[in-house]
Amino acid sequence: MKRSVIFCSSLIFFAFFVASFAPALADVGARPVASASVVVMTMSGRISKKTLEMVRGSVPKPQGDPIPAGLIVLLDSSGGDGVVAMEIGRMLRAAKAHIFVTGQCSSACMFILASGVVRGAPAYTVGIHRGRITVTDQDGKILKEVDASENPKAAAALTKFERDAEAYFAEMGMSPQLFAAMQAHIQKGVYRLSHNQVEQYRLTGFETRYFNERVRFFETQTGVYKMNGTELRRRTAKVASRCGEFQNDRKAFVACYSEVLRDRYLN
């Protein structure tokens, strides 16, 4: 058994899909790529140390950064171990993952969502609450919750976690308001974020440096993929809601993502 900062749920499930594409030069433009791989990872269920081991051994090194992305992560998780989620998030940030919520993303899951260089989540799919200390088994199953107000060691662990969580959100470019909102919800359950809130807290959108790189890339394209930064933000913001229905068909999700990016008239 171990004591950890937990945020909730069922077993974790992974699935990978690798698609190879040979885009037409009219679509790729000034920097054509003969072939490129799009890797799609789906994650659902409880986030635990076993999850971390699976991610560490499985996160691929995408070949380049093709259209629509080199690595796409689809989330449907109600939470788990927050410390583990931050470790996973750092690995996914390094891999330049585009991360979308296709089911729900509550509590610890939001640390993973926050790590995406591109992030998308429909309204009310993201749930937040203040961290708590629990005793879990090796699979992340919660055996009991520890009252930090009556246990000095648990209180110290929770204080450290909250300090680390605040620093992690800053590292990932989230709004300081996200941590404040998380701390404010002390009830059991989660507080679900509206469309305006996920935007305000920056849980949707782009990592700044990556956005600038991607704008330069799309500005050099010819044909349907040529666009400026404003248009790139507008089109990308539609992906989570437009393509979420394909969470169980990763090839269809990639096709949908590509279609959303190339269709300037899509509402």
Strand pairing category for 191-192 and 205-206: unpaired
Residue 256 counted as domain residue: yes
Place of tokens 């937990």: 6
Residue 216 counted as domain residue: yes
Output the CA–CA distances (angstroms, integers) from residue 187 to 4, 26, 129, 190, in the order listed: 19, 54, 7, 8
Residue type for position 258: S
Question: For the chain, percent helix, then strand, then coil, each to nearest 5?
Answer: 45, 25, 30
Q: How many domains does the chain have?
A: 1
Residue 26 counted as domain residue: yes
CATH label of the domain that carries residue 232:
3.90.226.10
Q: Can you give the pTM of this predicted structure?
A: 0.85
Residue 58 counted as domain residue: yes
How would you write the pLDDT of the chain (267 residues) with one tens digit per residue?
444 444 433 344 445 555 544 332 222 222 223 335 888 999 988 898 888 988 888 787 766 789 999 999 999 998 888 999 999 999 999 999 999 999 999 989 999 999 999 999 999 999 999 877 666 666 656 666 766 667 778 788 888 999 999 999 999 999 999 999 999 988 778 999 999 999 999 999 999 999 999 999 999 999 999 999 999 999 999 999 999 999 889 999 999 999 999 998 876
Residue 266 counted as domain residue: no
Range of the domain at 19: 2-260
